[in-house]
Amino acid sequence: MTEAVPLPTIDGPAATKPAILELEREAFAAWLAERRQPPMRAKQIRRWLLQARATRFDEMTDLPLGLRQELAGHFRPFSTTIDRHQRSSDDTHKLAVRLQDNKLVESVLIQDDGRATACVSTQVGCAMGCVFCASGLNGVERNLTVAEIVEQLVHLRNLTHRDDDGRKPMDRADRLTHIVVMGMGEPLANLDNLIEALAIAGDPNGLNIGQRHITISTVGLPAKMKRLAEVDKQYHLAVSLHAPNDELRSRIVPTNEKTGLGDILAAADEYFEKTGRQVTYEYVVLGQLNDRPEHARQLAGLLRGRKAHVNLIPWNDVRGLPFFSPDEDDLRGFIDTVRKAGISVKVRKRKGADIDAACGQLRRNMQQEQTRQTPRPLTTEH
């Protein structure tokens, strides 16, 4: 059963106040100093938000009451609010997160086998134009800020919890264990803000998530892939391939016309050489389009000899798009062909199907609802 969970939103004057995670640390330290508060207060406040799950200043009980009141008068805990929260029968949670300029992005919490994985967005919309994806149907509007990326993680982390008796369920984590940057947008198109957000996520005083538990997905921007390799972190790189030849990939992923598989694979090889981290190749399987036996043979030839893993993702239906999921026999044949070439491959488990957990669907549905509910302006005929 799908459960929709109502949550409060910020309205009125509070919506114009700056949020704590948006503040420059030096400026906030100066604000505290003006009130004769010790520098440690800034660390305490961030700890409450990033580690102790506080969502209001009055919950920060080791701060003086007067400071809590001043904080509430000048700031917001977060710049974003949860506009809609859906919970799947498999305990996948999907959030529509409203940004301070009233735009929406999506975030997902996937819980399975003792892991709690946060899937977050990096842009409002997407400019890559992948034909099967709901995220980019209206293009890209803007990059997310560092705070907007981190706050998605915090909102999702706050959904992991212990039972009422205080014990952790055996099959559930009570903290985020993994991050996948596979939500709305092209992560490498917002690389600077993403790197800073992931630094906060990995900080022991932040969310304390190890680099090897973070996966960054890209449609394949060779220059940015090389720059990510230079950052010298142990992040896992996932390249959204979706086709084994340039002609078909350019039909499915239009940006391929400017890059090409050769440059993308060369950049992925360089990432592996510099980081030692195996590259994953994501492949959304579209029935009768990219799942033919010749496609499997071409994919095997493309990746043979590389330290690579393939994630096959049967397409999630998106209303209004002319694609369909692959036939089970076709999918099994595809897997067998790739495996016989000595390439690691698996089918990604489908989670949250009953809440439209595929990226962009909830936002699109909400935008359509808003359009239907908005009254048409009156016109006067002359």
User: Hey, is 227 helix, strand or coil?
Assistant: helix
Contact 60, 75 (CB under 8 A): no
User: Which residues are designated catalytic?
Assistant: 106, 359
Q: Residue 378: what pLDDT?
A: 43
Residue 88 — φ and ψ, nearest 5°?
-85, 165
3-state secondary structure of 345: strand
Closest by CA to 330, choosing from 285, 298, 282, is 285
Verdict on whether the full-model pTM lies above 0.85: yes
Contact 127, 186 (CB under 8 A): yes
Give the number of other Cβ atoms within 10 Å of residue 29's Cβ.
Answer: 15
Class at the top of the CATH hierarchy for domain 24-74: mainly alpha
The domain segmentation of the chain, as residue ranges, is: 24-74, 81-370
The number of CA neighbours under 13 Å toward the Cβ of 149 is 28
SS3 call for 334? helix
DSSP 8-state symbol, 8 = -
Please choose, from the candidates 257, 329, 347, 331, the residue with its C-alpha nearest in 3D space to the C-alpha of residue 295.
Answer: 331
Q: Which of 78, 102, 235, 249 is nearest to 154 (CA)?
A: 78
pLDDT in the model for residue 341: 96
Each of the 382 residues of the chain gets a pLDDT tens digit; together they read 444 443 333 333 456 899 999 999 999 999 999 999 999 999 999 999 999 999 999 999 999 999 999 999 999 999 999 999 999 998 999 999 999 999 999 999 999 888 999 999 999 999 999 999 888 788 999 999 999 999 999 999 999 975 545 555 556 788 999 999 999 999 999 999 999 999 999 999 999 999 999 999 999 999 999 999 999 999 999 999 999 999 999 999 999 999 999 999 999 999 999 999 999 999 999 999 999 999 999 999 999 999 999 999 998 877 788 999 999 999 999 999 999 999 999 998 776 666 555 565 555 555 555 555 555 544 433 3
Of 94, 118, 21, 165, the residue nearest 365 (C-alpha): 94
pLDDT at 13: 46
Q: How many residues does the chain have?
A: 382
What pLDDT score does 8 carry? 35
So what's the pLDDT on residue 113?
86
Nearest Cα neighbor of 238 from 198, 180, 172, 169 is 180
What is residue 38's predicted lDDT score, i.e. its pLDDT? 97
In terms of Cα–Cα distance, which of 129, 19, 114, 143 is closest to 74?
A: 19
| 81-370 under CATH 3.40.190.10, yes or no | no
The residue whose two tokens read 């397409």 is 315
Q: CB neighbours of 158 closer than 8 A, spacing ≥ 6?
A: 53, 55
pLDDT at site 162: 52
Mind listing the pLDDT tens digit for each residue in 23-72? 999 999 999 999 999 999 999 999 999 999 999 999 999 999 999 999 99
